[in-house]
Structures are given as structure tokens and as C-alpha cells.
Amino acid sequence: MSYKIVIDSCGELLEEWKTDERIESVPLTLTVGSEHIIDDETFNQAEFLRKVAACPECPKSACPSPERYMRAFDCDADHIYGVTLSAELSGSYNSAVLGRNLLLEDHPHKKIHIFNSRSASVGQTLIAMKIQECENAGLPFEDVVSIVEKYIESQNTFFVLEDLETLRKNGRLSKMKALVASALKIKPVMAATDEGTICQLDQARGMNKALVKMVDYIIERTVDSEHRVLAISHCNCAERAQLLKEALQERMRLVKIIVLDTAGVSSMYANDGGVIVVV
């Protein structure tokens, strides 16, 4: 059976997916000040980070329209899947559901399922990989949906931010607290909740100590790691991501670790120097 996976652009694409007709990235739109930036293959991370740093306003994102999702789902594939960033962080999931429903009005027998990742970035990448694994095994559509939904429930997402300015600009951190944290070099260790919201697990003085704490949380919360793939995405800090990969390899048995650079939406959330880990 043929399949197609539609991922909103918060999810990073593996290199081989960029030329795979079965994988489509549907772009969100990023806004920095008065400028609108499409999060597609034209996205320039360095230029984007420069604009965010220079803008006093918080960068924002706008999800794809239901009609855009409908076009992505309107294909000849037997099984169609959508993977969106957490419904608690964006309207992308609801938009994808509406797009599916619009298409089903004219094609009621199409098999389309939308997965709410309850995560973002490489969390979505791993979900798409799980869908591929199930499809390549020849599983029925309903079994793929069931297995992948259970996989999403078992996922854990962690991240550490170098720069707290985006949190300050969007009101999640007061100006005074951000100033104190910056002066003391305090780095928060963050995670996604089961519902897909963001929480702070811990904090440390200095990036290296924060990364060590994050590794401890990853190990503590990962069950059956030897059967799992771990993914790291980084925003303009490849060396940091590599050191994190090596630290995790030393302390965990994993199927493999993949490392990707953040695309547009993930770069907006992580900001310059941020790292995200999903397992």
C-alpha cells in the first residue's frame, strides 16, 4: 500500500526525505517585526536569528491554512498521515484536522489520520520515522495509527536554552527575572508535559551544567532505551550537539542517535544556541 506523510515545518526533515515524494513539509509563516518569513527550503537560519536579536518584539508563527493542508492530503496515496507540532503550542493540529475534514467531504473513503505530536521539532521527525517503519512492515492503516499514537505517549522531549530573550519577549519570563538569569548565567532545563505544554524541570549556572542535568533527566525518564532512537536538534551550535550526543552514547544504550539543525519554527523556539532532545 502506498502512503504519504505530511509534516508541518516545525518538524525537521531527514536529508533523504527532501527528495522523497511520500514526505511533504507544509510551511508555517514566521513574523519578525513587520516582516513575514515562509518556513520552507528558502529559510536562512543565520539571517533569521540576526533579525530576531535586533527586533524588540517577540517573533511569532502562523500555522498553515486548512486549505493548504487539504491540498497536501489530496493525493493518490492509500494511507495519508499528518504530523503537527503540539496542539497546545500552535493551531497547526486543528488546521490539519479541518483540512482533512474538507477533503473527506468529497472523498469520504480516504484514510487520513492527523497525529498531535504533543512535542515539536525532532519529536515530529521521530514520529514520521515510526510511521515509515510501520508502513514498510506492511501494517494495516488502523494498526499504524494505534502503534504510533502509543509511541507518542511514550515520547519525552527536553531542551536547554542559551538565550532567554524569546521567553522574555513573549511574556513567559519577566524582564527582571531574565536580567538576573542572564547576569548569573542561569540556564533552564525544560521539558514537554504529557499534554504537550512546556514546563521547567530544573536550572543550572552555565550551559555545560544545564546539559549535564538534562542528560540525567533523559536517562532517568527513558524506559527501554536500547529499543529507542534518540534525536537531537540544535540551533546554530553543532559542536554542542555533538558533545551532547557523545555524552548520551557513553551513558545509554540506544538504537541510534540522529542530529539535525533546527528549521524555522524550531529555531524561533530554541533561539541561538538552544538544543532539543527527544527520545
pLDDT digits (tens, 9 = 90+) for 88-145: 989 999 999 999 999 999 999 999 999 999 999 999 999 999 999 999 999 999 999 9
The CATH 3.30.1180.10 portion of the chain extends over 157-278
Who contacts 225 (Cβ-Cβ below 8 Å, separation ≥6)?
A: 219, 252, 253, 254, 279
Q: Say if CB 231 and CB 257 are below 8 A apart.
A: yes
CA distance 253 to 51: 40
Residue 9 reports pLDDT greater than 80: yes
pLDDT-derived band at 40, boundaries 50, 70, 90: very high
Dig out the grid coordinates for 15 from the structure. Answer: 536529508
The CATH 3.40.50.10440 portion of the chain extends over 3-28+63-154
H or E stretch at 29: strand 29-32
* Percent of the chain topping pLDDT 90: 84
Burial label, 196 (beta-carbon count in 10 A; 0-12, 13-18, 19+)? buried
Identify the CATH class of 3-28+63-154.
alpha beta
| Straight-line distance from the first to the last Cα atom of the chain, in angstroms, rounded to the nearest whole number | 28
| Half-sphere exposure (Cβ direction) of 69: Cα atoms closer than 13 Å | 31
Residue 65 reports pLDDT greater than 50: yes
Which pLDDT score, from 0 to 100, does residue 136 have? 98
Residue 3 reports pLDDT greater than 80: yes
Helix (H, G, I), strand (E, B) or coil at 275: strand
Q: In what order do the strands lie in the sheet with 275-278?
A: 198-205, 186-192, 157-160, 275-278, 229-234, 256-261
Q: How many other CB atoms sit within 10 Å of the CB of residue 246?
A: 11
Average pLDDT of the residues of the chain? 93
Burial label, 148 (beta-carbon count in 10 A; 0-12, 13-18, 19+)? buried
Task: Give alpha helix (H) positions in 107-140.
Answer: 122-136
Q: How do beta strands 229-234 and 256-261 pair?
A: parallel
Q: Got the DSSP string for 197-248?
A: -EEEEEEEESHHHHHHHHHHHHHHH-SSGGG-EEEEEESS-HHHHHHHHHHH
Dig out the grid coordinates for 52 from the structure. Answer: 530576531
Asked whether the whole model's pTM tops 0.75, one would answer yes
Q: How many other CB atoms sit within 10 Å of the CB of residue 109?
A: 5
pLDDT digits (tens, 9 = 90+) for 149-174: 999 999 999 999 887 666 656 554 55
Q: What backbone torsions phi and psi does residue 9 show, to the nearest 5 degrees?
A: -75, 0
| Rounded alpha-carbon distances, angstroms, from residue 214 to 88, 193, 217, 243 | 23, 15, 5, 13
Assigned CATH for 157-278:
3.30.1180.10
